[in-house]
Structure 1
């Protein structure tokens, strides 16, 4: 399949190249383990070698590309053990953040999450995967941002990025996306109550379907 979002010479910098490659990785057009050479990027985007190299640095910082001496860059792939370890940390972080959210949550937070939730659902039904991905991440970072600990939220965001190969595996599953969307609705409802433990457990349970699908595929 031809990668999406290519434009003509002179219209790219390292950030736009990184964004195009990020989209190809997230939506499965570049499979885990695929090599990304500077020469390939030069041919595709018609930019200088500096921009191609910096785009790979940006992708490495995002956690979706691995660069190794004498081997170049490859799309990050995860072993079953790595998936289990990353998700164990995600569960700890997200459970703790949910436990620290003051309940019942302010009306402003509920309204903001409802707006993101509506956008997320529209993108699912339209099949606009970039929109689904971005609305999903925005929903979770807004939700967990209410815990009041910026360092915890930054750690959650880091592990969201590290798990992108796992999460990408679920993007083509519309039924799975609808289930995730329903989980989001339930999270909003729980924010109106007072039981942080139930909210925290849902936030952990919400992680399991994409992890299970990925592990079933690679084991």
Structure 2
């Protein structure tokens, strides 16, 4: 039987109400469960168990599965149903290679004519990120980290590139967030965020691209070590 720890009732809501849909809320909870290792690679996700956990319908669970599938966090297997995606060493390498390309190219296409606006937003988000880390609230830190990077994507001058950046960021959720609870790595992340902000403030495109690429390597190394992907 699944644990009911953290179980919650998710009301049916609609876009018109301005509230988060139940399926979207379930997706976010499961995304964090995967990202923080509460749901492990190859672990089955059983509809009936999740309906009980969230107090909701199969319809909402299936919609949440569709969202998780869309960003590559689960996979559907014959005779086993839905499982948390387990990356192979080659898949991890390919995903990292794509993120390097997207980080570098995205950094070069940030709209630096709006640098003051970008810096103000990133600084506010990063303050919340660092506060959450200091207090050991790692899920809040993950949300702030998402917001920090999604904000940089918002200012990319190439809309198609920004769309790819967002997609690959979500696909890498399980890699990115596992490193946040490691104090040595979180210190590096704080430093990188500050350097990203400084590079944008200074209009240093080459430095911004360099830091943006270096920033993603430690989390990949943690994931590789955790799951023996060498």
TM-score (norm 2): 0.86
Relative contact order (alpha carbons < 8 A, sep ≥ 6): 1 or 2 greater?
1
Aligned-residue CA RMSD (Å) = 2.1
Aligned to 2:65: 56
Cα distance in 2 between the residues matched to 1:19 and 1:100:
29
Shift of 1:2: 4.5
Q: 1:133 to 1:4 in 2, by over 3 A?
A: farther
**Is 1:101 the equivalent of 2:110?**
yes
SS in 2 for 1:66: strand
SS of residue in 2 equivalent to 1:147 = coil
Aligned length: 218
Q: In structure 2, do the counterparts of structure 1 residues 77 and 38 end up closer, same or farther at CA, with 3 Å as the change threshold?
A: same
2:75 to 66, 70, 74: 66
Secondary structure at 1:101 match in 2: coil
Say whether 1:186 aligns with 2:186: no
Q: Which runs of 5+ in 2 are unaligned?
A: 13-21
Which secondary structure does the structure 2 equivalent of 1:169 belong to?
helix
The equivalent position to 1:121 in structure 2, one of 121, 130, 145, is: 130
**Are the equivalent residues in 2 in contact too, given 1:94–1:144 (CA < 8 A)?**
no
SS of 1:131 mapped into structure 2: helix
- Given the superposition, is the C-alpha separation of residues 72 and 125 from structure 1 closer, same or farther in structure 2, using an over 3 Å criterion? same
Structure 2 residue aligned with 1:7? 8
Structure 1 residue 108 displacement after superposition: 1.4
Which one is further off, 45-54 or 179-188? 45-54
Moved more, 52-61 or 180-189: 52-61
Cα distance, 1:22 vs. partner? Answer: 1.8
How far did 1:70 drift?
Answer: 3.4
Deviation at 1:187, TM superposition (A): 0.8
Matched, 1:83 2:83: no
Q: 2-side partners of 1:151 and 1:18: how far apart?
A: 24
Contact 2:8 2:55 in 1 (8 A): no
Deviations 1:125-146, CA, capped at 9 Å, x for gaps = 1111221111111111212332
Report what 1:157 is aligned to. Answer: 166
CA contact (8 A) 2:36 2:174 kept: no
Question: Unaligned stretches of 5+ in structure 1?
Answer: none
Distance 2:157 2:5 in 1: 38
